[in-house]
Chain A
């Protein structure tokens, strides 16, 4: 083997190994994050974390029950806004619309999807907080719901479009009207995909913090109502992590573990649903 060739082979082997190292580093970050969160969070997590209110500043102990309920309320509102718009909008795009309208809607959805979450916060502030003169759960749910729309819409549309034409033709040949075809044939055929899309959108907004900072604000007590500020897990993690108290840091880790656990579980479930195959018989 001449030295030139040997050199080329060496370079090839070396560089390819380096790419493997890059992949290893990237993936190990995930396990590092998980490991560290579990290690720190596990020691700080206890029953009162889930059942107690935050203690006054300076006292140790207490929990984040209000933030857990707050997050649940915010996510409920977000789903009520984001899922219908995303789902029905996608049906329009996939089944009814002409190409121009579809282009405009897709473009708007992609644009909305790319908007930094803090800017969504500004929007929700000026649209919901300012008119009601109140930071509120509603405003926070609105902000998160907005972020769910484009994710749900775009992926649902793709799954609807993947339903074979033969299924539609069969339904219509049996005399079903178009909406009946959609409701009884197409949507059921794509339901796994749609469920995955909704779950992923849900998981995506569950960890959003920036849009909540000046919409749902935060609250150290139970939120008295939908039109009042509420605590939420992501915002609690943020405020506790940057505060100078040792005990708050401990609780921030616990909250981080709970939040990340929730999000990863939803992600894995969503992918598992999809991996079992879209229930579409081959044409």
Chain B
């Protein structure tokens, strides 16, 4: 997303020379070679889908849609139900978005609307660096910082104040849905900020001036005019973040507790789709067990595929409307 500037009069020139000239001068050979490389990208992607589909055939036929509503995950009895993992994935993603969306959009508004250009660019640089931090590092910090903090301070405090809600009941282990959600939130905030900032900055200046000219305060012009204008693009950034959160493996695996439970309490340890694949794939004995895990992979793939597609569409729509730079 770094350089999406479109230079006028850039890009290749439509060819006009005859095929034979082009062949003699090596153009057709270069074309063929580069085509093979480009095509291999498509091939590999198709192969990936095929492998996931075929690799889970046994499990898909045996369990069908029951797979998603069965709670039992018993490799010895060869009973596989994905409900606890689906539940854990959805809950942690929800928690992470509940934290990351307000914080991320707030920060994006500051960067796009208030901060002077140089400060905004400098902060964006740090945010890009933050987006580059590998997930296993977030996991490391999660295990040694977030988990103890949650166990000793945050969870007891939440229990004292909001303990009457089933969400915040049960023993405080430190690990669990809430902690995983928080670590995920820290991970996805940079994505939300980055994309939302771009989208907000592509809102035409007239919109702001018109609102201010009608006597609205700075905040009113931002919140009632600029943000609604960029709404679809901001939604796009949220879907992008959601796709990341759903597919994230390491950071979640390290703090969620890895127990297939379904519990209303956010303090409870749980499991997610990506985490169960990471933990059990190498020790999966028997075809059905392995194929059930591959089917989980297929589910993850389809979910992120849909969300990413939707996100790109929304971001493209807003950028076009704003007449600004076209994003991804």
Contacts and interface: CB of A to CB of B under 8 A. Distances in A.
Given A26-B103, A168-B13, A214-B282, A274 B3 contact: yes
A18 B45 contact: no
B166 interface: no
B106 interface: yes
Contact of B282 (A146, A163, A217): A217
Interface stretch (B33-41, B57-65, B70-78, B202-210): B33-41
Interface residues of A, number: 111
A94 B40 CA distance: 16
A196 B3 CA distance: 11
A162 B304 contact: no
Interface in A139-166: 146, 149-150, 153-155, 158-159, 161-166
Q: Is the interface of B mostly helix, strand, loop or mixed?
A: helix
A195 B106 CA distance: 34
B133 interface: yes
A188 interface: no
**Size range of the interface on B?**
35 or more
Contacts of A260: 133-134, 137
Interface of A: 8-9, 11-13, 15-16, 18-23, 25-27, 29-30, 33, 36-37, 40, 84-85, 87-97, 101, 104-105, 108-112, 114-123, 125-127, 146, 149-150, 153-155, 158-159, 161-166, 168-169, 172, 177-180, 182, 193, 196, 200, 203-204, 206-210, 213-214, 217, 234, 237-238, 241-242, 249, 252-253, 256, 259-260, 263-264, 267-268, 271, 274, 278, 280, 283
18 contacts: A8-B217, A30-B127, A88-B37, A92-B38, A96-B30, A96-B35, A108-B41, A109-B41, A110-B328, A111-B305, A114-B305, A153-B41, A164-B9, A207-B133, A213-B282, A242-B143, A256-B137, A278-B3
Interface of B: 2-13, 15, 22, 25-27, 29-31, 33-35, 37-42, 44-48, 51-52, 55, 102-107, 109-111, 113-115, 123, 125-130, 132-137, 139-141, 143-145, 186, 189-190, 193, 217-220, 222-223, 243, 246-250, 253-254, 274, 277-278, 281-282, 293-294, 297, 300-301, 304-305, 308, 312, 328
**8 residue pairs, one from A and one from B, having the closest CB atoms:** A207-B134, A116-B247, A22-B106, A177-B25, A92-B34, A12-B219, A179-B30, A12-B217
